[in-house]
Structure 1
Amino acid sequence: MFLHDTVLGIIFLSQTAVGVLGNSIFLWFYTFILFTNHRWKPMDPILTQLTFTNTIVLLSQGCPLAILYFRRGYFLGITACKIVFYLQRVSRGLSVCTTCLLNTFQAVTISPNNSRLAKLKVRLLKFTLPSCFLCWIINMILEINVPIYISESRSRNSTHTSGIHLLYCYWEKIFMDIIILPSLRDILCVGCMVCTSGYMVFLLYRHHQRVKHIHSTSLSSKTSPEMKATQTILLLVSIFVSTYGISCGFILHKVYMIHSGTWMMIVNTFIVSCFPASSPFLLIHREIQIPRSCGASWWRPYSQNKL
């Protein structure tokens, strides 16, 4: 039993540490570019918020479980349970909204100049920060009632019939008026994310077909920028939608199956943390201009001093 707890603690601690490291590196890249170039691109605030949100998701999901299994027992008080679970819910909603916001703004950015979305391109930067703040406000309000129904894990008894055991906390009751608005938010955001991603893939594929003869005459075997952007969109959306769908399935099974074990919450927490842990490395790998910009800014002063 001790070996089982130690292995689970190592898994969640490793996943959290790797994810936080990746998000910190990605955030450092953008901070470095901001102070060297002194200008933001429309997507930079959204990517920064997504990175920050991913960090909160990892810390609020992985750290409590890692500490729980390493200590092999209950360790959170009622106040800490409410704060941790509230952060989990808010950061999860922020992750959904921010990813949807990123895809929507990307669709506007690459839309043709003769489309209806072209008029929004010049105003895109003005809408970025208000949209990010609006995501925070909406999600903090939607989840404001959730901590009321959180109790300590050790207070769980047989009278709890309509709640979810969260391993270190217990969600006593799940009412429709509490989860219906967050569920509606998730459905709208995921649907919008899929639609905008499909629209972007269609535009990039059509553009790639138009310039196909140019790439075919080139001697370079490198992948075109259009295909790289398409791969990034497909990978991000597929990872997010897959983890979100699997997580929803586990939660529904946990709600309606009374005798389901705690292993479902363990697997669900690991799956939920997969997207925030892997997305920064995908973005770092695909956003080649970020390390190039950092390298150029770093190398330029060094070359001048050397001369």
Structure 2
Amino acid sequence: MYLHDTVLGIIFLSQTAVGVLGNSIFLWFYIFTWFNSQRWMPMDSILTQLTLTNTIVLLSQGCPLLISYFRTGYFLGVTACKIVFYIQRVSRGLSICTTCLLSTFQAVTISPSNSRLAKLKVRALKFTHPSCLLCCIINMILEINVPIYISGSRSRNNTHTSGINLLYCYREKKFMEIVILPSLRDILCVGCMVCNSGYMVFLLHRHHQRVKHIHSITLSSKTCPETGATQTILLLVGTFVSAYCISCGFILYKVYVTHSGSWVMIVTTFIALCFPTISPFLLIHRCIQILRPCCAARWRPNVRSQNKL
């Protein structure tokens, strides 16, 4: 085993382990919150799907790389390469659509009562479950042609120039049939996220200007739940858009530069896994703030009983 492979294996192992652990902790927080409050909010379905999708992204991209680096060889056959890459593409597209859904529903939720979006607020929140299911179906259909253009793994010593090296599989360069519709999906979703983020930033700025004259410590030191949730979603969207744009730049470089080397795909994969690794920890902070009232309510009876004694 080469030192280069060992170092890369340790890097991807750490990234995958941290990301899976973070998503698992966030799911545990949600289960704990549900058992305490016994209610399921409409946005919870989108957050749960995003967490599960990020876990699949980490496992489908991280595990093959780990086995490939630590075994110092290509271990996947033709069928395995097609299945693994199809799962990667579907989970990646589902992550984009789910993040777009999250920003859209949050923008509708915090919209003022006198705006046009306020009329769609109640109706839109009823369609969270169908929207999540529709995203899954659409992405599975869009990526249905992906396995056709994926070939099996080859030896490291084989200079295969007719395809794009995916570190453990190869993809044919003539793949316009499978990138046109997914690219349109990505452009629409990213554009929608940018518009939603701009709208939410505008609403937060206007809200800040309205409460700026309030000098009470009790009012100014607390942040309403809607504002805190919006700030968290803005961080999520900003992280996703940044990682997506950078990874797209490296992918275009890999496609149009013949002798680019495998380092481009290594950096691209690392950047692509940054969002599913970081996002659960941004959400955990909000989840802890949601759990505080539940914990406080549990402790209050004990404190009163001790005072009576």
2:59 is matched with: 59
Q: Helix, strand or coil: the match of 1:102?
A: helix
Change (3 A) 1:141 1:39: same
Q: For 1:134, give the aligned amino acid.
A: L
Change (3 A) 1:202 1:6: same
Aligned equivalents of 1:93, 1:71: Cα separation in 2: 29
1:31-53 deviations in Å (ceiling 9; x for gaps): 22223322211210000000000
Change (3 A) 1:31 1:87: same
Moved more, 148-157 or 107-116: 148-157
Q: For 1:260, give the aligned amino acid.
A: S
1:41 is matched with: 41
1:73 and 2:79 aligned: no
Aligned equivalents of 2:97, 2:59: Cα separation in 1: 19
Trace 1:109-188 onto structure 2 (pairs within 5 A): 109-154=109-154, 160-161=161-162, 163-188=163-188
2:216 is matched with: 217
Is the 8 Å Cα contact of residues 97 and 135 (structure 2) preserved in structure 1?
Answer: yes
- Identity level (%): 77
Root-mean-square deviation over aligned CA pairs: 2.5
Moved more, 170-179 or 138-147: 170-179
Q: For 1:197, give the aligned amino acid.
A: S
Unaligned segments of structure 2, at least 5 residues: none
Aligned equivalents of 1:3, 1:245: Cα separation in 2: 31
- Measure how far apart 1:218 and its partner are: 1.4
Aligned equivalents of 1:159, 1:3: Cα separation in 2: 24
Q: Helix, strand or coil: the match of 1:171?
A: strand
TM-score by length of 1: 0.91
1:252 is matched with: 252
1:286 and 2:302 aligned: no
Q: How many corresponding residue pairs?
A: 305
- Measure how far apart 1:231 and its partner are: 3.8
Aligned equivalents of 2:281, 2:31: Cα separation in 1: 17
Is the 8 Å Cα contact of residues 41 and 125 (structure 1) preserved in structure 2?
Answer: no
TM-score by length of 2: 0.90
Q: Helix, strand or coil: the match of 1:164?
A: strand
Aligned equivalents of 1:66, 1:200: Cα separation in 2: 39
Q: For 1:224, give the aligned amino acid.
A: T
1:270 is matched with: 270
Moved more, 285-294 or 191-200: 285-294
Aligned equivalents of 1:56, 1:293: Cα separation in 2: 32
Aligned equivalents of 2:164, 2:268: Cα separation in 1: 13
Is the 8 Å Cα contact of residues 250 and 264 (structure 2) preserved in structure 1?
Answer: yes
